[in-house]
Structure formats: C-alpha cells, structure tokens
Amino acid sequence: MLISNSDFVYNKEAIYVAETANNSPELAALSCVPPYLSFVISEDNWYGKTGYPPPNINLSGFSSVLPEEYAPLFSAALSLASTTAASYGKDNTIPWTFYECAALKIPSIPVTPVEVASVPFGPWFPDPEME
C-alpha cells in the first residue's frame, strides 16, 4: 500500500499495521515466518513539526547489541525514522515489532512494515505546530 502527500498531525498513531502473518495455519507450519508479509510505503507525508514519524518502541539499544553481520539489516529496517520516540515526540508513530529466528541464528531485531521513502520540506496544509 502506498500513502502519499498527506499530513499526519496530532494523531496518536499515523499508521498502525497488525502483524500480517498472524493466525495463518499455512504459515504456522513454517519456521521463522517474518511478522509482516504486507508493507506500507510512506512517500511525501508530513508527520508533525519534525516531518518524521517516531517508532512506537524505543529502538536505541539495538544498534550496539546486534552482531556485525546484522547491522545492514537493522539500518535498512530503521528507514528514515529516528531510533528513539523521544527525538520527535510521541505522536504520529509507525509500528514496530520484534523478529527472531533461532534456526537461522537471527537474534531478536526490531522490524517495521512501514518504509518512509521521503518526507516533504513542510506540511501540505497549514500546521498549527509550525506556527
């Protein structure tokens, strides 16, 4: 799904995605199924005074504990969002969950179904937070 050219201001959550792989008997038979099989592309959306949505969980502790070979995966998963919700306030969050696979030796890492492809330089409509 693509969401583009929208303003998310004073929302509790701009985008909420349920784990798309849950409750599927076909997938339950497989090991290490990722939590998200569907994705949202956020393109040129405004998320309040900073323009970026924060994650709905604190991700700051993960970058230093992941094995080196998973650093690129974690960096890619972070998209353009900050690693701490405190950096951008608590509104307009994007969802994250944790994924791990002992069979493939993948440690617990945060993943999101939302890819923030780009943000505009300012809101599309008058934003009371910017005044």
Cα distance between residue 84 and residue 55, in whole Å: 7
| Residue 129 belongs to a domain | no
| Residue 131 belongs to a domain | no
| Residue 66 belongs to a domain | yes
- Is pTM, for the whole model, over 0.95? no
| Residue 26 belongs to a domain | yes
Domain count, the chain: 1
Task: Locate all alpha helices (DSSP H) within the chain, ordered by sequence.
Answer: 25-28, 71-78
3-state secondary structure of 43: strand
Q: What's the domain range around 11?
A: 2-121
Identify any residues that bridge with 55 across adjacent strands, giving them in sequence order: 94
Tens-place pLDDT, residues 42-82: 999 988 777 778 787 777 666 555 566 666 655 655 554 44
Cα distance between residue 57 and residue 13, in whole Å: 12
